[in-house]
Amino acid sequence: MSAPLKKLLTDLTRLDGVKGALVVSKDGMVLDAVVPAKDIDAEDLGASVTQAVAVAEKIGGSFDLGNLSMFSVEYDDGMIVIGDLGDNFVMVIADKNAMVGMLRNEIRKMKGKIKALV
């Protein structure tokens, strides 16, 4: 993609506990990613994120909660935070020491900048 997009994703990965950041299209194509190659298969994650978002949207729709803007999934050893960008998503992968509130806030702050680059 572009150097400015790579820089924004790199900035996200510099946050405490963040292992990777990706921008994924709604059809599952990875537009850009900053991930450690040995730990994360960006293409596989890109394909999976669309399924996860579809499930989250369905659940939210069942309760008339409006459009999905962001969601997080927490595991024993980490978390994934996904923010909606319209035609794309930004996804951050973090370890269990990351602060989910801080990640969500940073994603909110960067959403407009990322959206403008894709």
Query: pLDDT digits over 52-97, tens only?
Result: 999 999 999 999 999 999 999 999 999 999 999 999 999 999 999 9
Q: pTM value? A: 0.88
Name 63's Cβ contacts closer than 8 Å, sequence gap at least 6.
Answer: none
Residue 12: predicted pLDDT: 94
Mean pLDDT of the chain, nearest integer: 90
- pLDDT of residue 36 exceeding 60: yes
CATH class given for the domain over 3-117: alpha beta
| Spans of all domains in the chain | 3-117
Name which of 5-9, 32-36, 45-49, 68-72 the model is least confident about: 45-49
Residue 45: predicted pLDDT: 77
- Give the dihedral of Cα atoms 56, 109, 99, 86; nearest 10 deg: 20
Residue 2: predicted pLDDT: 79
With beta carbons less than 8 A apart as the criterion, state whether 111 and 117 touch: no
CA atoms within 13 A on the CB side of 74: 9
Please state, in angstroms and rounded to a whole number, the distance separating the CA atoms of residues 82 and 24.
10
- pLDDT of residue 31 exceeding 60: yes
With beta carbons less than 8 A apart as the criterion, state whether 19 and 36 touch: yes
